[in-house]
Amino acid sequence: MTDPSPQAELIMAFANTLDVEDETDALADVPDLARWLAETGLTTSTPVVTAEDHQRCLRFRSGVRELLGTEDRQAHLLAEADSVLRELPLLVSATAGSALQPAPELPAVSRAFGALAAALAVLLITGENERIKRCPAEDCGWVFWDNSKNRSRRWCSMRVCGNRNKARSFASRNRRSPEADR
């Protein structure tokens, strides 16, 4: 069993600010983003967030969610995330707590995005991102940690999405079953 690193926890929390099943978005608007950044400790206090910051953040999150999906990644979403990342320089440090840091001269909100970028970079370098998956169920899309031995988990939870999906294919195979008639 492998537990997620703090970087993995952060990126999963960021990706799951969008909850497809509940139709909620913890980053729905500018004040939401300001609150989330402060709550997660990415900024020391509630920052001043602009509409442009908010747009950048959503483009970045779409790309991260796309990257964590295991099938049919949409290149344009990844490219948009890259365009956000290009404006977030990172610094390698021998003295700071973690080796990869957002450039200190960045304004607070960009520094917070830079911290997310640094966390993502660590996951891609260590390969830990391969244990982070986005559930392929269209009405789910939850990002989860796959702690199976051979990283073979596909659905977010075998109890919920896994069984739900099995039930669905069973229902379509058995048209006359009570499940399908409901």
Binders of Zn ion: how many residues, by CB under 5 A? 6
Minimum separation from the CB atom of position 119 to Zn ion (A):
23
Of residues 36 and 142, the one with the C-beta less far from Zn ion: 142
Helix (H) or strand (E) run with residue 125 in it: helix 108-126
Q: What whole-number distance in Å separates Cα of residue 112 and Cα of residue 41?
A: 9
10 Å CB burial of residue 51 (0-12, 13-18, 19+) is exposed
Q: What whole-number distance in Å separates Cα of residue 65 and Cα of residue 78?
A: 9
Residue (of 20, 15, 5, 65) closest to 36 by Cα position: 15
Selected binder of Zn ion within 76, 137, 159, 177 (CB under 5 A): 137
Name the one range near Zn ion by CB under 5 A: 12-20, 72-80, 87-95, 131-139.
131-139
Does residue 140 belong to the site contacting Zn ion (CB under 5 A)?
A: yes
Name the one range near Zn ion by CB under 5 A: 23-31, 49-57, 120-128, 130-138.
130-138
Question: Taking CB under 5 A as the rule, which mask of x and - marks residues 145-174 in contact with Zn ion?
Answer: -----------x----x-------------
Q: What whole-number distance in Å separates Cα of residue 182 and Cα of residue 177?
A: 9
Where do contacts with Zn ion occur on this chain (CB under 5 A)? 135, 137, 140, 142, 156, 161
